Amino acid sequence: MARELMHFIGGRTVKGASGRFHDVYNPTTGDVQAKTPLASAAEVRAAVVAAQKVFPEWAAQNPQKRARVMFNFKTLVEKNMDELAKMLSAEHGKVLADSRGDVQRGLEVIEFACGIPHLLKGEYTENAGTGIDVYSMRQPLGVVAGITPFNFPAMIPMWMFGVAVAAGNTFICKPSERDPSVPLRLAELFLEAGAPAGVLNVVNGDKEAVDAILKDPDIKAVSFVGSTAVAEYVYQNGTANGKRVQAMGGAKNHAIIMPDADLDQVVDDLIGAGYGSAGERCMAISVAVPVTDKLGDELVRRLKPRVESLKVAPSTDPDANYGPLVTREHREKVKNYIDMGVKEGAELVVDGRDFRLQGYENGFFLGGSLFDHVKPTMKTYQDEIFGPVLQVVRAKDFDEAAALPTKHSYGNGVAIFTRDGDAAREFASKVQVGMVGINVPIPVPLAYHTFGGWKRSAFGDVNQHGPEGVRFFTKIKTVTARWPKGGVREGASFVIPTMK
């Protein structure tokens, strides 16, 4: 019988009260393994009240004390790494090694947040005017929220709440209803690390919970990662209600392959970046762009046997390249895109639609697929497929290849493979994409830099984690102070102060 999951509000597990639930599947077997409660607006409000109650206490703690909680939390997550990875794989389907990487990349932001005393330092100008000093300080916003996707249920919550709570905010996480167990466990560990009850809350839910977050007047900022359609909805509605919003959407990441590239390395990188985690990554390489037909022919010749030999297996198989997709509905969506590509006239070099794994026929598995001769006018090129599908779009020269990611409506990540430093430098400077890799297939910045795309891959002006994350979750206050000498008065002035 499927177990019933809970919310985590005010430092304790809370049974869902709405009467609505969402099925959590085991993607390997297709069985329902849990029921996620879908919160009502009243339950979201209860989490806001709990977060509000503890905010003054948490914000008033000096940054060193908050940093010590972050250190403790980091240690606890590392101690429980295997448990978290198994929990993640069981609900998402990604292989265990990839699940550990999911947790580890989140931990890197926690490590960054441990430096919050330094990150919150303001600026100071002595004697900006005669006897006048000017200084600034960064202060927390209050109650903030994060709405996180199914594909990184450990990393992205930690990206958000790590910086937010270290800066003195209190946080409400609304994870994906498809795989919510890891965020719930992280909240328990954060309480164990020494955070006061209510600093980190987890409320499961669907659109009703999202709308409640966007409308609640006491939630000051919302961070979101998910599809572009929902990202735009969150941004428009959140900002209309006076909130700060950073909303990261979909992607169509290109890999430009120049004739001088190390093709053996390119093939390895495309296989890993295109098919790892069954392609369910917003930074997956989903389009390969070989420059010249000669290079295109050779690239496809080398890719074909590698795609055909991908080992698709349960997440617990240590030799698996990737596991099942997250749900049956998502698998069917990806298959429909492959059908569409065939109808549009692209050449299906490797067809993974009929893949079946013996003993796991009801699992959500899909073999790797490879398309050649894809055209930019095709809908399958324009849309994000988000599955184990790599498309090859051929270009006659560097300029044509570089124009593809620039013209595309998405602008999350891009990579170029070349030995030519001048070409790489020009590409990195001119391409209209937020994150660029040079001989790096998945250019996700490290925690002390910042993550964010351009165009329809991101809505809002401030990126996630790194210094940008600190700026997003704090407000700046500037103080101008004068300490006049005793007995000296200057009289009234009716002219605006200047530095003249």
CATH of the domain at 66: 3.40.605.10
Domain for residue 275, yes or no? yes
- Is residue 162 located within the same domain as residue 282? no
- Is residue 366 located within the same domain as residue 329? yes
- Residue 114 appears among annotated catalytic residues: no
- Is residue 276 located within the same domain as residue 236? no
Strand partners, 244: 221
- Is residue 60 located within the same domain as residue 174? yes
- Is residue 234 located within the same domain as residue 274? no
- Is residue 400 located within the same domain as residue 462? no
Domain for residue 445, yes or no? no
Residue 357 near residue 364 (C-beta atoms within 8 A): no
Q: What is the predicted pLDDT for the residue at 497?
A: 75
- Is residue 358 located within the same domain as residue 464? no
293 closest CA partner among 338, 257, 255, 341: 257
- Is residue 229 located within the same domain as residue 342? no
| Model confidence band, residue 500 (pLDDT cutoffs 50, 70, 90) | low
How far apart are the C-alpha atoms of 160 and 464, rounded to whole Å?
7
Active-site position among 282, 310, 385, 447? 282
Domain for residue 174, yes or no? yes
Domain for residue 497, yes or no? no
- Is residue 465 located within the same domain as residue 422? no
- Is residue 94 located within the same domain as residue 153? yes
pLDDT in tens, 214-246: 999 999 999 999 999 999 999 999 999 999 999
CATH number of domain containing 316: 3.40.309.10
- What is the CA angle 95-290-295, rounded to 5? 110
> Among 116-130, 154-168, 360-374, which is the least confidently predicted range?
116-130
Name the helix (H) or strand (E) containing 399.
Answer: helix 398-407
- Is residue 34 located within the same domain as residue 165? yes
Domain for residue 157, yes or no? yes
pLDDT in tens, 384-406: 999 999 999 999 999 999 999 99
Number of domains in the chain: 2
pLDDT in tens, 260-291: 999 999 999 999 999 999 999 999 999 999 99
| Model confidence band, residue 372 (pLDDT cutoffs 50, 70, 90) | very high
Phi, psi of 258 (to 5 degrees): -85, 155
Domain for residue 486, yes or no? no
- Is residue 208 located within the same domain as residue 266? no
Domain for residue 426, yes or no? yes
Domain for residue 494, yes or no? no
- Provide the domain limits for residue 153: 3-249+457-479
Name the helix (H) or strand (E) containing 125.
Answer: strand 124-129
